Amino acid sequence: MNDETRFIAAVLKELATSTAVILAAWGALGGATNALTTKMHLRDALRHILLGGLIAAGMGSLSMAVITSWMGLPPEAIPAGGAAGSAAYLVGVFGPAFIEVLLARLRRAKRGDGDE
């Protein structure tokens, strides 16, 4: 095995165990769940999957704090073992939908036909 092959193997190993990549994968699965349950077109489904992964990876461990606050759980639930994947999944499910609702409201307000 030469140095280049060892380097590539080391990079792939680090990527596979990276917390951000794992959270992104869970978020993408959440986005896929959202897309499948709402029966959207392929283009929209791919957008939800990508957004779910990006939001979950970007929020990192903050997602668990947001989920515990949203669900009214005690702060002790934040470091619960194995909960990071669950929080990333939930963020992947609801994050893209939340962003779409927010953008729709901003567009409506910009056009002047808000619901006020």
Q: Identify whether the C-beta of residue 25 lies closer than 8 Å to the C-beta of residue 53.
A: yes
Q: Is the pLDDT of residue 28 over 60?
A: yes
| Each residue's pLDDT tens digit, 38-53 | 888 999 889 889 988 8
Higher pLDDT, 113 or 81: 113
Average pLDDT over residues 13-37: 82
Cα 12 from Cα 60, distance rounded (Å): 20
Per domain, the residue ranges of the chain are: 3-111
Q: Is the pLDDT of residue 103 over 80?
A: yes
pLDDT at 59: 79
Q: What is the DSSP letter of 40?
A: -
Q: Identify whether the C-beta of residue 22 lies closer than 8 Å to the C-beta of residue 85.
A: yes
What's this model's pTM, rounded to 2 decimal places? 0.67
Higher pLDDT, 12 or 82: 12
